Amino acid sequence: MADVDKEAVLERLGSIRGPDDDRDIVRRGMVSDIVIANGRVMFSITVPAERAEAFEPMRRAAETAVSTLPGVSGAMVVLTAEKKGGSPAARAAPPPQSRPPAPAAPHRHAPPAQAQKADVPGVGAIIAVASGKGGVGKSTTAVNLALAMKANGLRVGILDADIYGPSLPRLLHLSGRPEAIGGRTLKPMEAYGVKVMSMGFLVEEDTPMIWRGPMVVSALTQMLREVAWGELDVLVVDMPPGTGDAQLTMAQQVPLAGAVIVSTPQDLALIDARKGLAMFRRVDVPVLGIVENMSYFVAPDTGKRYDIFGHGGARREAEKLGVPFLGEVPLVMAIRETSDAGTPIVVSDPASPSAAAYREIAARTWEGVVGGAGRRPPPSIVIE
Ligand SMILES: Nc1ncnc2c1ncn2[C@@H]1O[C@H](COP(=O)(O)OP(=O)(O)OP(=O)(O)O)[C@@H](O)[C@H]1O
Ligand SMILES: [Mg+2]
């Protein structure tokens, strides 16, 4: 099949419109340079930062439209934001429509949380992988980070704290139910030598989950404490998106050794990353560092690198905020494909540069845990 060309992609995109505009996104100049490699098409669409959620359906429409063009084997479209100093107050994104309202947290300000958090027996360090906004690659990072820590010689577990939208069963190609062992205790599932627990194992995939606030917490507590994790050096927790009360409650409930913040390079996500940092600091959890995900794109055929997404933003932000920069993960179709296939790239292609990037991030994260990096938060972050 002949490779598709840019003109064909642009022509197809001509039919895509934003949420409230009748001119197409191409004529409005919203579409970035288009990268085509081996039938795979990638580009970004620039949208106003404060309206990213509203543009999500358009992003999906663009991705679908392009992926059905003849000669296209896959398409990846991401939203990026104009860099401007607008008022971030207007950006407080509402929770995604599909999720039930966040439960009310008992405390809004730093509670004496540490004192009441009992350790989980046998589990060394619990680290959260979080982000300020959804869809930046938390689950992908959490899974590959956990497997990279395992590859680095640690005993690892991974817990899916995204009770509304669990991803781990798919990402690790696991199904079925965990076995009960005596009374209330569940045996964790296992994939690639890592122990796994997810709400996805306990409920049917299509079940609408109308969790009330208190149930979210008890479900999480159960997955943490009524699971026979055994002896682990580290338990990686894939957090749900956002920094609302639900997340704050979770951060309070789990005796966290530290948090890893995932961010895409765009301004858009960075503002949200800052919210993620602020949330963990509020509950006195050290931030182990920031990972820049979808940092840059490398064309698989030519090896040419494209910084179409504003590479380097997270590193600069980390420096500014005084937290460690843990590393960058490129935007690679193989990362998405292996995720969808339940064979994360760290195990399915350990020799790839992406897998190496994850192992390095894992090593730096672990150094932070062991060395207590970031234990004393620098003064305070201001979210203007
Ligand atoms: N480095 C990467 N290269 C290519 N694709 C990626 C990369 N990181 C993540 N993705 C893809 O981006 C999408 C979102 O990733 P993921 O589900 O990990 O995000 P998330 O932050 O956990 O989302 P949510 O907020 O819904 O929990 C997925 O399709 C995933 O395969
Ligand atoms: Mg996720």
pLDDT tens figures, 40-99:
888 878 777 677 778 888 888 999 999 999 998 888 787 776 654 333 333 333 333 333
Confidence class of residue 314 from pLDDT cuts 50, 70 and 90? confident
Separation of alpha carbons 14 and 376, rounded Å: 52
Residues around the ion ligand 2 (C-beta < 5 A): 138-139, 167
- Residue 376 alpha carbon to ligand 2 centre in Å: 28
pLDDT in tens, 225-240: 889 999 999 999 998 8
Strand partners, 237: 128, 159
Which atom in ligand 1 lies closest to the alpha carbon of residue 240? 27
Which atom in ligand 1 lies closest to the alpha carbon of residue 337? 31
pTM: 0.75
Query: Which residues make Cβ contacts (< 8 Å) with residue 196, sequence separation at least 6?
Result: 157, 158, 159, 160, 168, 172, 174, 188, 189, 190
Find the range with the poorest average confidence among 32-46, 64-78, 142-156, 248-262. Answer: 32-46
- Residue 165 alpha carbon to ligand 2 centre in Å: 7
Query: Which residues make Cβ contacts (< 8 Å) with residue 189, sequence separation at least 6?
Result: 174, 176, 178, 195, 196, 197, 198, 201
Q: Mean pLDDT in the chain?
A: 80
Residue bearing the CA closest to ligand 1, atom 16: 137
